[in-house]
Structure formats: C-alpha cells, structure tokens
C-alpha cells in the first residue's frame, strides 16, 4: 500500500481527487467507460467535492456503485448514504448509470443480491474508501469476514461504529442508529483495479496506526487493504499523528512511502 501524507485534509482531498480523476479518465479512454465504487461519510466530503470539480471527466460514461447502506433507514434521512451519494456525487456530476442499495426495502438480502449481480458483470476500475474509527472498511466492523466472496453481505454494526455515526451528528443518539447494514465485502473491495482510501482527522489516528503497523487481521478490517497491489492511503498530519516516529519521519521527508503486507 502506498501511503501519502499531507499537511491538512484540504490538500489531501485535492490530491486524492486528482488521482481519482486520472483513474476514471484512463478507464474511459481504454475501455469506453469507467466503473467506480464510492464511499460517503463525513470524512469523504472534501474529497468528493474536489472530485466533482475536476475538469475533463466524461461523467455520462461513468457507472457508479454504492459501498454500503443502513438497513431500515429511508433515503430521506440525513444519515442515509444513498442521500449523501446522490447529493455529493451523482447529481453534481450528472452520472446517469448508478446502483443504490435500498436498505429500507422489504428484503435487504434481495437488494444485496441484485446489486451484487450487476457489480460482478465487469471489473471495477477504482473504488473510493474511508476507514472507520474502529478500523472498519465499508460497514465491515471487527471481526470482519475476510473469506466470503459474496459481493454484498448483511452485517451487524458494533457499538463503536454506531457511536461514530452519532459523533458525526447524523443521529441524535445511539438508539436511533440502525444495528444492521448492507456492506460490500472486504474481498469484493480488493477486486477493484485501484483503491483510493481517504482518511483525515485526529479521530481516525488510532485506526490508521492499527491499519499500517499491526498484523493483517479481521480485528483491523482496513489492514486487508495492504494486500492490494494498487492501493493508495491518503492521510493528513492529524490522522497520521500516532504512527511510529520512524515511519512518520519517512512520510514527512518523502511525502509518501510503501507499507508492505
């Protein structure tokens, strides 16, 4: 995994957006379209805003897939990832080919299967991800299922994940946060040709440390990203603040470094 350090989340977001725009345009040039997966959360706001302002992207040739969604939450709720995806990316760019996870449908498992079949019809060119405070990717909380090949799975959300959602002000208190979600599985995430992982803010520092310095383990779901050949982790000085001094020094000197699996 290539780790890239920036002084703040704004410069980080613009750099990540530049890489994302290049990946999308390259896929369109080579294959006539680009297939992307997009995360939505408070940590992705600056990145998605920067991406929508990148010039030259032929957005009508982009097919977008949803990363995860709460079960039982309507798309009108402020915490709905469908709502965020529509507002932060789809409507701003004019993407016309997109696949949302309807978490409030009568049968969420059927939703997962249907969108999963569409996802598997061709490779994903680039996936945009974040990392949760508990180290989750998508809604794969620890211990994550590192073995299933099913593209979308139904998962239970742990307390740390649910408290993060309250902390980000999407919900009034933890009792309002759904306990289950539809999530892209870790192994499916790894199937994307390229991963761009955007992780700003001090509250993510422990997760970044665990992701990069510990073993690759289901207890730290984001650690599996180190197995991907073309993954870039974007961090700022706050989210990187707990890294070992030697690693942090390398990042400060070189602006980027490779963390082996």
CATH number of the domain enclosing 195: 3.40.50.1360
pLDDT by residue (tens digit) across 104-133? Answer: 999 999 999 999 999 999 999 999 999 999
Structural domain including 223 reads: 2-258
CA distance 157 to 176: 13
Average pLDDT, the chain: 94
Q: Within a 10 A sphere around the Cβ of 196, how many other Cβ atoms?
A: 25
One-letter-per-residue 3-state SS of 171-206: CCCHHHCCCEEEEECHHHHHCCCEEEEEECCHHHHH
Q: What is the pTM of this model?
A: 0.94
User: Following CA atoms 47, 134, 120, 61 in sequence, which dihedral angle do they give, to the nearest 10 degrees?
Assistant: -10
| Across 56-74, average pLDDT | 96
One-letter-per-residue 3-state SS of 53-85: CCCCCCHHHEEEEECEEECCCCCCCCCCHHHHH
Pairing of strands 62-66, 34-38: parallel
Q: Decide if pLDDT at 261 tops 60.
A: no
CA distance 96 to 93: 9
pLDDT by residue (tens digit) across 129-177? Answer: 999 999 999 999 999 999 999 999 999 999 989 888 888 777 888 999 8
Number of domains in the chain: 1
pLDDT by residue (tens digit) across 194-228? Answer: 999 999 999 999 999 999 998 999 999 999 999 99
């Amino acid at each position: 995994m290539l780790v890239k350090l920036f002084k703040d989340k704004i410069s980080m977001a613009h750099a990540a957006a530049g890489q994302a725009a290049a990946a999308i345009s390259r896929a369109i040039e080579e294959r006539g379209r680009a297939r992307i997966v997009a995360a939505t959360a408070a940590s992705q706001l600056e990145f998605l805003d920067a991406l929508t302002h990148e010039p030259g992207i032929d957005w009508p040739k982009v097919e977008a897939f949803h990363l995860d969604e709460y079960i039982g939450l309507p798309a009108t709720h402020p915490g709905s990832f469908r709502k965020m995806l529509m507002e932060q990316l789809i409507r701003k760019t004019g993407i016309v080919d997109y696949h949302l996870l309807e978490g409030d449908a009568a049968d969420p498992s059927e939703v997962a299967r249907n969108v999963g079949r569409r996802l598997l019809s061709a490779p994903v060119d680039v996936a945009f991800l974040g990392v949760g405070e508990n180290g989750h990717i998508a809604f794969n909380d620890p211990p994550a299922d590192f073995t299933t090949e099913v593209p979308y799975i139904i998962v239970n959300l742990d307390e740390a994940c649910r408290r993060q959602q309250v902390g980000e002000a999407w919900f009034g208190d933890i009792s309002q946060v759904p306990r289950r979600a539809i999530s892209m599985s870790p192994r499916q995430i790894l199937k994307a040709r390229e991963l761009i992982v955007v992780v700003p803010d001090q509250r993510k520092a422990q997760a970044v440390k665990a992701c990069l310095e510990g073993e690759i383990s289901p207890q730290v779901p984001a650690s599996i990203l180190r197995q991907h050949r073309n993954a870039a982790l974007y961090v700022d000085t706050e989210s990187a603040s707990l890294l070992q001094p030697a690693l942090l020094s390398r990042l400060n000197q070189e602006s980027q470094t490779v963390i082996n699996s």
